[in-house]
Amino acid sequence: MPAAVRTDHVRTDHVRPDTRRNGIEAVLDALARKAPRDSHLHNTHVLLLKGRAPTLALVRDHVRTRAPNVPALGCVARGGRWTTSSAFEAADHVHELVLDDRTGGHDLLASALLDGDLPVHAPRWGLWLVHGYADDEYALCYRSHHGFQDASASQSCIRGLFGAPAPDNDAPPMRPRLSPKAAARVTRDLAHAFLPTGRPPRLPAGGDGARAIARARVDLTRLHAVACAAGVSINDVHLALSAAAVHAWIRWANPDRRTLYACVPLDTRLRGKTETGVGNKLGMIRVPLHDGEEVTAESLTATATSAADTRAPEYRATARRMLELVPGPVGRWATHHLLRPAHTAMINSRVAYPRGLSFADTPVHDAFVVPSLFPGHLCFITLSSHGSNAHVAFVTDARRPALDRTIRHWQACLDALEAELGLRTPESPPAPHPHPTRPAPATTARPTPHGSDAQTSTATAHHPRAADPR
């Protein structure tokens, strides 16, 4: 390509301008202003690759070349619409983070990614080349603000940067329509969402806004086997395990037992409709967490039943249409109240990464997400998967004690559920426990022509978008 050709600009004729923002994004922007740090509303998608880390210049060249095919990367919010930034240069959004402990592994990596800066007046995303946490592996970490895009929209950008183009959506377009029966169920669920939830234990005074993460890796085939044996979905299994882990954690952290509710994503995307990679594509619906520190086949079935309606296509299409018909101020008010800690204690999400991601002919061999944390919420829980690998993560305020117990209990409940369903014998070895807590180490940055791209993580880490109802 001739040197005179600029490929890091996205022109306005490459993207449909004047895309309207929805009420969810305005509420998320407001939540970010209330959060102790703006990074509490960041989602970071971590792509792991084998081999020696490339140079920062090589990564920037790659992104500069791919950016014109991902017009959402150049979008900024102006008023109530998404428009294209005339000053957007993709290379300015690519940075490098060098860690100093090659024995730290993915615990160190996740901890270092809890905090970081994103531009305020430019498209709110960034890509970090991270290495120094392990031998013969590096990470490409795509971070974006939740008000800029949710996990669904992020996947579109990640595929555009590191994957093959998505296949054409040749299904006949599906128009959102109101089904009276589904509308009654959606209205009922929305009304129930304003009932108060149990409040998480109060945080100790002080604190610097640091977050903590507890995480573990699990074989996705184990979750799939449990789901098939119980006649439920993997998302149901994850939600039930998370509920038991949170109840056990609250008991250990606070003697008062509390009834808790979680928000899970409601997929309102329509068949045959091409979605852009900017904005929030998924709605939210609130579901109760079963009360108890154990997961049985019976409680797993109850968890699946509580979210069964949301999987029906007519429910999702009706919810989409109702969201479109609701006036903007009403939608923002409803979303704001739904996400208040008085109504929702946490978010529980599922992210599945596409196959075929690669950089410079090196395939991505695993991936996981470091999620956000909404102000006042007890935690944000995610299950991310790539191929046969899955990662579960709990993120909370660093002042909350004993976060590592959530992961240990989640794993213990999975072991017990497998035994109850006859999927393993009592003699089978239990899942490995997470690594012990370690302080997040200092990080170093390499100066670049675009300035210092260093981050310093101050939270702690432990080893290993609400559950997607599809």
397 inside domain: yes
**Is residue 11 one of the residues assigned to a domain?**
no
What are the tens digits of pLDDT across the range 368-381? 999 999 999 999 99
Pairwise CA distance, residues 268 & 282, whole Å = 6
Q: CA-to-CA distance for 468 and 351, rounded, in angstroms?
A: 8
For position 2, what pLDDT does the model report? 31
pLDDT at 418: 96
Q: What is the CATH number of the domain that holds 338?
A: 3.30.559.30
Q: Is residue 181 part of a domain?
A: yes
Contacts of 87 (CB under 8 A, 6+ apart): 122
Residue 6 domain-assigned (yes or no): no
Whether residue 206 is contained in a domain is answered as yes
User: Residues near 150 by Cβ (< 8 Å), separated by ≥ 6?
Assistant: 43, 265, 279, 280, 281, 282, 465
Domain count, the chain: 1
| Regions of the chain short of the pLDDT cut 70 | 1-18, 165-178, 252-258, 269-276, 425-470
Domain encompassing residue 67: 17-164+177-461
| pLDDT of 363 | 97
Asked, for residue 348, whether it belongs to a domain, the answer is: yes
Strands 443-444 and 94-99 come out as: antiparallel
Q: How far apart are CA 380 and CA 406, in angstroms?
A: 12
Q: Does the predicted TM-score (pTM) go above 0.75?
A: yes
Q: 117 lies in a domain?
A: yes
pLDDT for 176 = 57
Q: What is the DSSP string of 230-288?
A: HTS-HHHHHHHHHHHHHHHHHHHH-SS----EEEEEEE---TT-PPPSSB--EEEEEEE
- Token duo for residue 340: 């208040």
User: Is residue 5 domain-resident?
Assistant: no
Give the pLDDT confidence score for residue 39 in this predicted structure: 93
What 3-state DSSP class applies to 218?
Answer: strand
